[in-house]
Amino acid sequence: MKVLQHPLFIACLLLFCLNQVLENNGVYVWPLHTHLDDFLCLPLTLTIILAAERVYFQNPAFILPKRYLVIAAVLFSLMFEVILPLFAARYTADPWDVIAYAAGALLFQLSINRHAPTKTTNQVNN
């Protein structure tokens, strides 16, 4: 579960919470109010999925295949930018949010979705 201690995951989680506190207090900062949650959504979700997969497979070196990230970005985009706006006026379709989902998936891939460091013989003996 070390992946849940990744500095970027913690930063994303703190940013998400801070943005929610601001919004709940009526403080709306553009573009944070409109796009930050969409950007942070996949790094947070995918990190939790990665942690669960590592526990399930008992393999700290497991990484999510890139196709999972693409599928996640597509599904989030379809659900929140196509389907929900059709059924609820509260949701609005925004192509910039699709870009935010893709950027979040890319951030996850480039930073968090890595093999867990393993101890080498020198590190164990020192």
- Mean pLDDT in order along the chain per 10 residues (126 residues): 93 95 89 90 97 94 96 97 94 93 97 76 47
pLDDT of residue 125: 47
Q: What pTM was computed for the model?
A: 0.87
How far is Cα 66 from Cα 59, in angstroms, rounded to an integer? Answer: 18
- Grouping H, G, I as helix, E, B as strand and the rest as coil, residue 43 is helix
pLDDT of residue 93: 92
pLDDT of residue 6: 95
Task: Specify whether the CB–CB gap between 117 and 60 falls below 8 A.
Answer: no
